[in-house]
Amino acid sequence: MTTFALPFPPTLAYPQPPPLRRLRGALAACAAGIRRAPRMELRIDVQHPQEAIEAELDALHRRLHGADDALQRCTVLPFPFPDLLFRHREADGEHYVYVEDAARGRLAGYTVFNRLIEVDRLTDRHMRSPHSRYASAYQGRGIATAVYEWGLDTGFCLLSGARQSTGAHALWQALGRRHPLGYVAIRDKRLHYLGTEVASPLREDLNTRLILRGKGWSLERMHALGLLHADAAAANQALRRRA
């Protein structure tokens, strides 16, 4: 399949708050989730102007519908959104999911499952770092969540970026209520498992990331295959005891 490179670096997704009529239920569900799960936070300091996102999506849609119509060469994925088309392609081990609103002639958004230059070859075979952008009219509908679920069901484990937006952080927390979520530290191109809670100094370290385990991946299997290493866990426990 012909490679079709993006003209810009992908960034994290920005789901918006739900409509007011659903706000009370969403807040209640969020509070319940906080009571059930340990606190999972990273550096939340990313902001992108929505106008810039909309402009990028318009430009990308025109390019994808150019003379060779790259979107038509993509595989259409079955997703429970009847008004949208989810088109998938793979290039050099990276997976691109473009979400198109064909009736309105626009790109609703996209998610790219990037390979990781920070890890070794063995880890790179099974890990991807998802980055997304969605137009404001399509945020809050669970579209990005469904695409990330597709990646996890495909068998990939997902690794967060060094920084997150508020929306991306909320998305990872929501996924963490349905999929195993933990912390890892990247050291010497290897992932060192830290557990489901980390001490504040480690949480602020740019090498500390969130990891979502995909379908079929247990901690035991990942340790056995050399995808996770445990030698950083003791340091994390010592820091937590001192905190």
> 183-218 pLDDT, tens per residue?
999 999 999 999 998 888 888 888 999 999 999 999
Contacts of 45 (CB under 8 A, 6+ apart): 163
Is residue 42 over pLDDT 80?
no
Burial environment of residue 32 by CB neighbours within 10 A (0 to 12, 13 to 18, 19 or more): exposed
Judge whether 220 lies within some domain. no
> To the nearest whole percent, how much of the chain has pLDDT over 70?
74
In this structure, is residue 27 part of a structural domain?
A: yes
Average pLDDT over residues 99-106: 94
**Which residues, 6 or more positions from 15, have their beta carbon under 8 angstroms from its beta carbon?**
134, 139, 140, 144, 145, 167, 168, 170, 171
Is position 120 within any domain?
yes
- Residue range of the domain that includes 94: 20-179
Largest interatomic CA distance in the chain: 62
CATH of the domain at 170: 3.40.630
4 touches 89 (CB < 8 A)? yes
Assigned domain for 218 exists: no
Give a yes or no: residue 148 inside a domain.
Answer: yes
Task: Determine the Cα–Cα distance for residues 148 and 130; give it in Å rounded to an integer.
Answer: 8
Per DSSP, the three-state class of 91 is strand
Residue 219 is encoded by which pair of tokens?
Answer: 């901690």
* Of 129, 119, 82, nearest in space to 102 by CA: 82
What would the two tokens of residue 67 be? Answer: 């003379």
Give the pLDDT confidence score for residue 242 in this predicted structure. 56
| CB 194, CB 202: distance < 8 Å | yes
User: Taking 80 as the threshold, does the pLDDT of residue 227 lie above it?
Assistant: yes
Instruction: Look at residue 79 and tell me if it is in a domain.
Output: yes
pTM of the predicted protein model: 0.76
* 11 located within any domain: no
Amino acid 233: pLDDT: 58
Tell me the pLDDT of the chain averaged across its residues: 81
| Tokens linked to 3 | 């490679």
pLDDT band at 48 (very low <50, low <70, confident <90, very high): low
Q: Is residue 10 in a domain?
A: no
Name the domain count of the chain. 1
